[in-house]
């Protein structure tokens, strides 16, 4: 879904080691620089200090740096459920609650993160795609099987496939392999 985007997009795959504030910031800076070559990030100077400033100050640096961009940037933080440390969560919350026009932050996670989700929802700063949004209905299963396998399936077969795969596209793709 990100490949056809008409603006720079960075993807950062996270794991439990990215709970270290310095490592997270290093990777975040690298992701920004990778999609915006030539950008001078004052945020990068923070990594030279023995101790990082508070999360809100780091967020201000990042947002000010991104404010110099003439086009928007999408940063995807994949596997955000691996993040458990307050610094990284609070930094992400600050980026989300005080956004610039140039930043679209996408969090991919298996569970709700420790972020002000209700506030973000209330102020219209968040779009959610939940598990239920990703599951295929019986009609969609039939369409998918017809489209990918060029096989017409009846409603009962589609309903059985939906039940067995729980509506997951990857399960349906595996069915198609047999």
- The region, left, alpha or beta by phi > 0 then psi within -120 to 50, assigned to residue 137 is beta
pLDDT bucket at 75, cuts 50 / 70 / 90: very high
* pLDDT above 90 (res 175): no
User: Is the pLDDT reported for residue 82 higher than 90?
Assistant: yes
Any residues with CB less than 8 A from the CB of 17 and at least 6 apart, and which?
23
Give me the pLDDT at residue 171, please: 93
**Sequence-separated contacts (24+) of 109-117 with Cβ below 8 Å:** 109/79, 109/80, 109/81, 110/79, 110/81, 111/81, 113/80, 113/81, 113/83, 113/89, 114/84, 114/86, 114/89, 115/89
What is the C-alpha end-to-end distance of the chain, expressed in Å?
Answer: 27
Q: pLDDT tens-digit profile of 13-44?
A: 999 999 999 999 999 999 999 998 888 999 99
Residue 52 · residue 46 · CB < 8 Å: yes
Dihedral through CA 12, CA 109, CA 17, CA 87, nearest 10?
90
The rounded distance, in Å, linking the Cα atoms of 119 and 88 is: 18
The pLDDT of residue 139: 96
Torsional sign, CA 115, 134, 82, 66: negative
> How large is the average pLDDT for residues 155-166?
95
In the prediction, which pLDDT does 103 show?
A: 87
Instruction: Give the Cα separation of 158 and 23 in Å (integer).
Output: 47
pLDDT band at 5 (very low <50, low <70, confident <90, very high): confident
Tokens of 133: 């949004």
Instruction: Give tens-digit pLDDT for 111-156.
Output: 999 899 999 999 888 888 888 898 999 999 999 999 988 889 999 9
- Which residue shows structure tokens 């439990």? 16
Quote the Cα angle for 57-62-65, to 5°: 125
Give pLDDT, residue 92: 93
pLDDT, tens digit, 9 for 90 and up, residues 35-73 = 988 889 999 999 999 999 999 999 999 999 998 888 889
pTM: 0.81
Which residues, 6+ apart, have CB-to-CB distance to 115 below 8 Å?
89, 92, 93, 96, 107
**Calpha distance 94→115 (Å, rounded):** 9
pLDDT of residue 145: 92
């Amino acid at each position: 879904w990100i490949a056809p985007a008409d603006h720079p997009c960075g993807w950062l795959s996270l794991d439990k080691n990215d709970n270290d504030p310095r490592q997270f910031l290093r990777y975040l800076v690298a992701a920004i620089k990778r999609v915006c070559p030539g950008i001078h990030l004052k945020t990068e100077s923070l990594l030279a200090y023995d101790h990082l400033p508070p999360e809100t100050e780091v967020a201000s640096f990042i947002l000010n740096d991104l404010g110099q961009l003439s086009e928007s940037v999408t940063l995807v933080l994949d596997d955000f459920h691996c993040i458990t440390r307050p610094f990284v969560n609070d930094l992400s919350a600050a980026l989300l609650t005080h956004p610039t026009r140039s930043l679209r932050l996408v969090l991919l996670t298996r569970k709700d993160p420790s972020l002000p989700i209700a506030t973000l929802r209330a102020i219209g700063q968040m779009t959610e795609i939940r598990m239920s949004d990703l599951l295929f209905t019986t009609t969609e299963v039939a369409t998918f099987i017809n489209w990918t396998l060029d096989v017409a399936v009846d409603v009962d077969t589609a309903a059985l496939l939906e039940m067995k795969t729980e509506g997951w596209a990857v399960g349906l793709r595996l069915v198609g392999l047999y």
